[in-house]
Amino acid sequence: MGGFEPRAKPWKMDPIPSTFQFELLDEDWDQFEILMTNAMHRTPCLETAEIKMLLNGPESFTPDGNFILGEAPELRGYFVCAGFNSAGIANSGGAGRLVAEWIVGGEPSMDLWEVDIRRFGAFTGNRKALAERTGETLGLHYAMRWPRQELETARPLRTSALYDLLAAKGAEFGSKNGWERANYFKPEGQSRPEYTLGKPGWLPWMQAEQRATREAVALYDQTSFSKLLVQGRDALGVLQRLCANEMDVPVGKMVYTPMLNARGGIESDLTVMRLAREKFLIVTGSAQTVRDMDWIGRQIEPEDHAVLTDVSGQYSVLSVMGPKARELLARVSPDDLSPEGLKFSWTKEIDLGHARVRAARMSYVGGPGFELYVPVEMARHVYLALHEAGAELGLRDAGYYALDALRIEQGRRAWGAELGPDETPWEAGLAFSVRLDKPARFVGREALLAAQGKPLRKKLVTLVFQDPAVQAWGGEPSLWTTKLSGRFRLRAGARSRAPAWHSATFGEQLRCSCTPARLRTPSCGETAQR
């Protein structure tokens, strides 16, 4: 009889002796008491049964509870297959095959992001944080995991310059790659709602943030974006090999592009700004810093004069979104931000208050908007200046739940949700981001050419439910009993990786349909993906 106690007792042996293998620890009845009490409730004969031994041995748990596979980004040829806690035997066959593929072929044959070693940054090796977090993740091993449930230990860790200001305004934070990010804002006097499988208590607050974005102006703190600098005389050549889109663009232009593997699958989707002739700023997902650094670094040949640097901590990102976004910025900046002064998908440096920032005309949530790349030491000043000028315009702070809902409503894709190494641009509706005819050959080009014009194995679509009471969190099977119109079909039980409920959170548009008119594919102008 065994179990997983709600709060584990980390083994603080530092270092673990090199001779330690298959050994047990001393009995610990105090730690086992809660398990023994529940065991006797379920199996009453244990109250009188003779106890032969209390087996106490160390298990390997990771900061998120999932195991670790893959080649260490710090050391070529060093593959890790660890952290299986009590599931090593159950997962050994599949893990062994995938690691073998990785060693022999350079990559696994399927999307392994949830267990990829590159999901962790070096900071996760902190001993104190590991002791706190693994004690929590073990307790959740067989526990009820609620939708959008956040881990609570070893937080806060990575915070933006605005963390305290947002917390004072009722921000409820979630954690992504160690970053504290505002999920939504609670009205004054309200506490965080309980987790639920049904309609969440924060939904009306998040809907108000969406309405501000669509009807007035909203401010999103997106400082957690990963920001990578590629510079040097061969920087353009490196990006041309890596990126499916055309990267040889004028200085100041932004390009949305996927990076592909040899199978044509999407290893990452990102935005690249050309800051100078030999200088490019890559903006990618918060969780993908190590992964994208590793993927790009592998493509820089020894003879290439190109340097890749993680500058994520140097810049805050404030997104000003909504129909009144330009009016707000005009109140704090003397620069011309009209459509003629700053075209869509272009950037330029502007004065804002007393600061100098880079403004990018783009919108991940759809509609008008700007992203402001602000030196981190000036972020507080810029934030306060925007709020002072935007009060009478209805400026509202908004969080990542609203952003995620709105981007799904607009058909924007997100890597790790709709996109991954098993999806091609053709299947994801991202053909506009691929330039097969560009002078430079890029990774994955041959696979895309081979698949061009052939029937798709799968296609990304948007589903809208008829019943407003439906609360789909993502991963639920979609069962179809009627024939679908057009050439498109869904298999019964097909699973959606995106949280479908997002499509319903603004305006309660809940209608179950999948006709060609309902299929959303971004136009060539919608280049503000993340």
For the cut 80, the answer to whether the pLDDT of residue 510 exceeds it is: no
Examine the domain organization and report whether 2 and 116 are in the same domain: yes
Rounded to whole angstroms, the Cα distance separating 442 from 293 reads 18
150 belongs to a structural domain = no
**DSSP per position, 20-67:** --S--PPP-HHHHHHHHHHHHHH-GGGGTSPP-----------TTSS-
Mean pLDDT of 3-17: 86
Confidence check: pLDDT of 522 > 60: no
Domain boundary among 123, 143, 163: 143
| 82-86, 442-446, 478-482: least confidently modelled range | 478-482
Which stretch of 307-316, 485-494, 518-527 has the lowest confidence by average pLDDT? Answer: 518-527
| Closest of 418, 492, 417, 432 to residue 461, by C-alpha | 418
pLDDT, residue 57, reads 86
Q: Give the integer Cα–Cα distance in Å for 76 and 25.
A: 35
Average pLDDT, the chain: 88
Statement: residue 45 has pLDDT above 80? yes
Residue 138 lies in a domain: yes
522: Cβ contacts below 8 Å, ≥ 6 apart: 411, 412, 429, 430, 432, 529
Asked which of 13-22, 139-148, 156-165, 405-414 is least confident by mean pLDDT, the reply is 13-22
Tens-place pLDDT, residues 381-399: 999 999 999 999 999 999 9
Query: Which residues fall within 8 angstroms of residue 102, CB to CB, at 6 or more apart?
Result: 69, 70, 71, 79, 108
**For residue 206, what are the CA distances in angstroms to 182, 218, 401, 446?**
11, 12, 7, 44
Place of tokens 């679908």: 484
Last residue of a domain, one of 260, 285, 312: 312
User: pLDDT tens, 222-277?
Assistant: 999 999 999 999 999 999 999 999 999 999 999 999 999 999 999 999 999 999 99
Q: What is the pLDDT of residue 17?
A: 85
Query: Which of 47-56, 161-170, 407-416, 501-510 is predicted with the least confidence, judged by mean pLDDT?
Result: 501-510
423 found inside a domain: no
Considering the domain architecture, whether residues 14 and 138 belong to the same structural domain is answered as: yes
* pTM of the predicted model over 0.75: yes
pLDDT score of 528 more than 60: no
357, pLDDT greater than 70: yes
Q: In degrees rounded to 5, what are phi and psi of residue 207? A: -65, -35
What whole-number distance in Å separates Cα of residue 401 and Cα of residue 383?
20
Task: Tell me: do 245 and 114 sit in the same domain.
Answer: no
Q: E strand or H helix at 130, and its extent?
A: helix 127-139
Instruction: Say whether pLDDT at 202 is over 70.
Output: yes
pLDDT beyond 70 at 495: no
* Tokens at 93, concatenated: 């066959």
pLDDT for 480: 66
67: pLDDT confidence band, cut at 50, 70 and 90? very high
d(CA 395, CA 90): 52
Q: Which helix (H) or strand (E) holds 95?
A: helix 88-105
pLDDT at residue number 482: 57
Whether 332 is covered by a domain: the verdict is no
- Report the domain count for the chain: 2
Dihedral sign, Cα of residue 113, residue 119, residue 125, residue 129 = negative
Same domain, 122 and 252: no
Residue 339 forms part of a structural domain: no
Q: pLDDT category, 494, cuts 50, 70, 90? A: very low
> In the predicted model, what is the mean pLDDT of residues 146-175?
97
- Tell me, what DSSP letter sits at residue 298? H
* Whether residue 246 sits in one domain with residue 138: no
Domain limits for position 263: 226-312
Q: Is residue 112 part of a domain?
A: yes
Is the per-residue pLDDT at 496 higher than 90? no
User: Residue 490 corresponds to which tokens in the numbers above?
Assistant: 């869904």
Contacts of 59 (CB under 8 A, 6+ apart): 85, 86, 138
Query: Residue 253: what pLDDT?
Result: 98
Pairing of strands 254-260, 369-375: unpaired
Task: Say if 515 falls within a structural domain.
Answer: no
* Residue 137 shares a structural domain with residue 232: no
Predicted pLDDT of residue 472 = 82
| Segment among 9-13, 54-58, 420-424 with least mean pLDDT | 9-13
Burial class (CB within 10 angstroms; exposed 0-12, middle 13-18, buried 19+) of 129: middle
| Per-residue pLDDT, 330 | 98
Q: Is the pLDDT of residue 134 over 70?
A: yes
Determine the pLDDT at residue 520.
31
CATH, residue 303: 3.30.70.1400
Residue 466 counted as domain residue: no
Strands 68-71 and 79-82: antiparallel
Distance, CA of 108 to CA of 102 (rounded, Å): 5
As a residue count, the chain comes to: 530
Pair (2, 137) in one structural domain: yes
Contact between 308 and 272 under an 8 Å Cβ cutoff? The reply is no
User: Does residue 211 have a pLDDT over 50?
Assistant: yes
Residues 138 and 240 in one domain: no
Q: Say yes or no: 6 and 111 in one domain.
A: yes
15 and 134 part of one domain: yes
Structure tokens at 66: 């999932």
The CA distance from 371 to 363, in Å, is: 8
| Beta-ladder partners of 284 | 226
Rounded to an integer, the average pLDDT of 475-492 is: 53
For the CA atoms of the chain, what is the radius of gyration? 25
Is residue 83 within 8 A of residue 67, CB to CB? The reply is yes
Task: Enumerate residues 6+ apart whose C-beta is below 8 A from 52.
Answer: none
pLDDT band at 483 (very low <50, low <70, confident <90, very high): low
Which of residues 284, 312, 340 is at a domain's end? Answer: 312
> What pLDDT was estimated at residue 526?
31
